[in-house]
Amino acid sequence: MTKTYLQAINEGLRQILTTIPESYILGEDVGTYGGGFGATKGLVADFPDRVLDTPISEAAITGVATGSALLGKRPILEIQFSDFLTVAIDQLVNEAAKIHFLSMGEQSVPMVIRAASGSGTGASSQHSQSFENWFAHVPGLIVVMPSNAYDAKGILVAAVKNNNPVLIFEPKSLYKTAMPVPSELYEVPIGQAKVVQSGSDITIIALGRMVEVAKTVASQTDISIEIVDPITISPLDIETLAASAKKTGKVLILTEAVKRSGISGEILAQLVEGGFSGQIKRLGGYFMPISAAKSVELAQVPTVDEILTTIGTMMEEV
């Protein structure tokens, strides 16, 4: 059945609450309002004691989630905009991510944080940032970014069952995109990349909403493009990425997040350190705040024309 990205998440949350009694949802406006973007719509009516509205304090919410996870619950915390993770960073980075290590493996923090991420909706500089780069740098955190409705539901289910803190960055510009999504409960493996489209001339490694951009690029050229979606940013499935790179001999890495100090540089480094000697380039967001002006915002991340030009240049080079 065809479902939007948000509908898939909503269905996944309902099935998780039904089948995993330790799970519960907390966050700002997740109850009657149905969540900042509607992901929790209707859930509080059926689970009034397990869908909890909270005060406007991301630090407090994350602290409550961390503590309850230590006591055996499996909280699913919604952060309305990933930008607001900056308010929760102490609890998340200095506590949740460290407890398993500091307890010598005796304690776990099985919690999930969902965060609406990225640009493309005209939400301006404080509501459009892409912070997956930050959190992929933190040992103890699992960081994922589903690029479609099917993966969004499956990754969510896998994340709730995982015994580590999992941070899910959901590209909010994809919330209304739709595709066939099974109605039953299923999992998408954490830590496993996916070849979205096979090709022979060049590999595009695309993260988040850049996967859809890469598909558009592929439809507008005769160049045979292989598209690979890492899905999980940390831990990174470098083996799948490297296999595709070896197959085509050319790699372009696409991210919406700013290119400087980003995950694209890490992927590039790991490929080169692993022995890849072919052509490799990367495109990412400009090193500047996201503009509220739509025309400017769209030009601040890799565009179809920019990608086509870059690929054309790479194909001309020996």
Q: What pLDDT does 123 receive? A: 86
Indicate if the alpha-carbon torsion angle 222, 226, 232, 236 is positive or negative.
negative
**Three-class secondary structure of residue 166 per DSSP:** strand
As a whole number of angstroms, the distance between CA 290 and CA 123 comes to 9
One of 74, 127, 153, 259 is an active-site residue; which one?
127
Question: What value, to the nearest 5°, has the Cα angle with vertex 110 and ends 69 and 173?
Answer: 110
Q: What pLDDT does 294 receive? A: 86
The beta-carbon contacts of 300-306 under 8 Å, at least 24 apart in sequence, are 300/119, 301/119, 301/120, 301/210, 301/256, 302/210, 302/213, 302/254, 302/255, 302/256, 303/213, 304/213, 304/216, 304/217, 304/220
| Residues lower than pLDDT 50 in the chain | none
Q: Which domains does the chain have, with CATH numbers?
A: 2-180 (3.40.50.970), 194-316 (3.40.50.920)
Q: What pLDDT does 318 receive? A: 65
| pTM, two decimal places | 0.96
Q: What pLDDT does 93 receive? A: 96
Q: Is 127 a catalytic residue?
A: yes
CB 167 within 8 A of CB 91: no
Q: What pLDDT does 75 receive? A: 98
